[in-house]
Structure formats: structure tokens, C-alpha cells
Structure 1
Amino acid sequence: MVSIAIENPDQPDIVALLRAADDWYATLYPAESNHLLDVSTLQQPGIAFFVARDDGELLGFGAVADRGDYAEIKRMYLAPAARGRKLGRRILQALERHAAQGGQDCCRLETGIHQPEAIGLYRSAGYQDVGPFGSYGPDPLSLFMEKRL
């Protein structure tokens, strides 16, 4: 039975999967196009870090950050062995619920153009393309999206 719950990202298995995600992103994009939050940032107030587990085994994670007038989806990643089980959609739904319960009516995200599965997930979940937001600048390797909750 898969559970999705808020956890502290500073756990050995999570840190290892965050590193694996960082390594994977580094194969797709140059450093200036990777907008990754580290463990200490993921622990700050206003950021909820959700983890998917199956009988204790880490499957993936995602974070949602309160940015004032919107929520930002960050660090969505599934372990390669966990892909194809619709877990990304379940994590995304948990992040959106958390944002809505916190009073947000809009979620935004940045993803890379070389991630067709992620882009497909976001579009099928109702996210639409928008321009750069927050501290992001234009980047031909980035896609910016938002969804009204």
C-alpha cells in the first residue's frame, strides 16, 4: 500500500534519492538551468516535502512552497523503478491539496523541456504554459506552467 505524507527530507534514503535526481538533471541541463532546492531549503518554513513510500520503501517525492500569492511545485521526482504506477499524479495531487488547504488558489512550476513525461503529467493535470514567474528569467530550456486550483 503506497502512502504519501509529509516527511523531513534530511533522511538517508531521501538524501540519496535527491542526489540521484540531481545527477539525472545534470545530464539533461547545464547548471544554470537547474533550479533545485537543497535539503536545508526544503526544511524551511513554508515548504512542505511529500514522500511516497510502499511499505517503507522510498518511491519518490515532491515539494510545494508557499510563495505568497501562489504555491510553487518543486522537486518532483520518482525513482526509476517506481515509474509507470501513476505515483507522480498522486504526489502532484497531494501537493495541490496542501496548497489549496493553505489558502492558495494557484500552483506554478518550472520544468525542463527535456522531460516529456513530466510535461505530459502537468498538462494532463490542467497546467497551462505561462511566462517566467518569481525569480526565474527566460530560459530556452525551461517551461513555466500554472494551474488555478
Structure 2
Amino acid sequence: MPPLTIAIEPPRQAEIERLLDGSTAYAESLYPPESNFLLDIATLEAPAVSFYVVRDEGRAVGIAALVKDAGEGELKRMFVDPASRGLGVASLLLETIESDAAIRGIRRIVLETGDLHDAAQALYRRHGYVEIPQFGQYVGEAHSVCFAKSLAASALA
């Protein structure tokens, strides 16, 4: 079986937009509109955003964005195609983003997920993320659960 591949790619591609649409539909099925903080495609194309795509035999199966802001990075729009879950796509995304972030001088990654996203919360905890107080636009949001992970100096080597 060929390995999964990951690269930074532009988000404005039909198969990527399919994954973004799937992510949006999933979030909208769980939470009211005011509780969804999804970046649109134009924002994902901004210079401060690195957009990662995991491919399985050339087919896009997972996505995530890292938004850099003053030494910190925020993980956004992480989503794995339901048919590809259980293959290590999400772990590959996290590990690659963390490594790239450390190389780029980012010392901590923060993220927000929903209180009903049990699998996502478990994934982040397995990868060393700890729950933190709500930050930024998520403060006071009933459905937001925030996490952070400090990137170890060893990741810079």
C-alpha cells in the first residue's frame, strides 16, 4: 500500500473544496451558525496561512490550516474524509504541522474545537494538547473547547 503523502497546497481546488464543504456540513449539523468559526477559502489563501493536504494515492483525504500570528499558530479547518478515517491521516497532519511550525519559529499551537467533537478532543489529547481557557473570538462561546501545545525545543532540531 503506498504511503500517505502530505504537502502545502492551495485550497482552491475542486477536491479540496469538497473536503471544506464536508467540514462545513459536519459543523453545521452539530452547532448553531453563531458557534461555527470556519475560515472561508479566501482567508485560507492569505499569506499567513499554510494549508496542508494529505493525499492517498493522489486523492485528497485530509486537510488542515495553520494560521501564524506573532510566534503562535492556530490550527484551523482540520478535517478527514469519513472514508479515510482510521488510516492515520489526522496524526500525519498534526505531526507535520507541528514540525513545520517549530521550524518557522512558532512556539505554541492553539486550536478550538466543539464540545461535541469527542474524537477530535481525544486526538488532540493523544498528541499532547492540553485544554486551555477560551481565547480570542471563542471567549464565552458555549460550544467551544480550546487546546494548546507548546512545541519542544527538540522539534527545532
Range of TM-score over shorter length = over 0.9
> What is residue 35 of structure 1 aligned with on the other side?
37
Once the two structures are superposed, what CA deviation does each residue of 1:55-90 show, in whole Å capped at 9, x if it has no partner?
A: 211111011110113110111100000001121011
CA distance in 2, matches of 1:86, 1:68: 30
CA deviation after TM superposition for structure 1 residue 134, in Å: 2.7
> What is residue 5 of structure 1 aligned with on the other side?
7
Secondary structure of 1:139's counterpart equals coil
**How many residue pairs are counted as aligned between the two chains?**
149
**Equivalent residue for 2:50, pick from 48, 51, 68:** 48
> What is residue 141 of structure 1 aligned with on the other side?
143
Letter in 2 for 1:51: V
TM superposition score normalised by structure 1: 0.96
**Equivalent residue for 1:58, pick from 55, 60, 64:** 60
| Aligned Cα root-mean-square deviation (Å) | 0.9
- After TM superposition, list the pairs within 5 Å mapping 1:74-89 onto structure 2: 74-89=76-91
TM superposition score normalised by structure 2: 0.92
CA distance in 1, matches of 2:127, 2:9: 24
> What is residue 125 of structure 1 aligned with on the other side?
127
Alpha-carbon distance change, 44 to 74 in structure 1, aligned in 2, over 3 angstroms: same
Once the two structures are superposed, what CA deviation does each residue of 1:30-66 show, in whole Å capped at 9, x if it has no partner?
A: 1111110111100101100000001211111011110
Structure 1: any 5+ residue segments left out of the alignment? none
> What is residue 92 of structure 2 aligned with on the other side?
90
CA deviation after TM superposition for structure 1 residue 119, in Å: 0.3
- After TM superposition, list the pairs within 5 Å mapping 1:105-116 onto structure 2: 105-116=107-118
CA distance in 1, matches of 2:74, 2:148: 9
Q: Quick check: 24-33 or 132-141, which moved more?
A: 132-141
Letter in 1 for 2:81: A
CA distance in 2, matches of 1:84, 1:71: 26
Off by >4 Å, runs of 4+ in structure 1: none
The 8 Å contact of residues 138 and 144 in structure 2, kept in 1 or not, is answered as no
Secondary structure of 1:21's counterpart equals helix
**Equivalent residue for 1:17, pick from 16, 19, 37:** 19
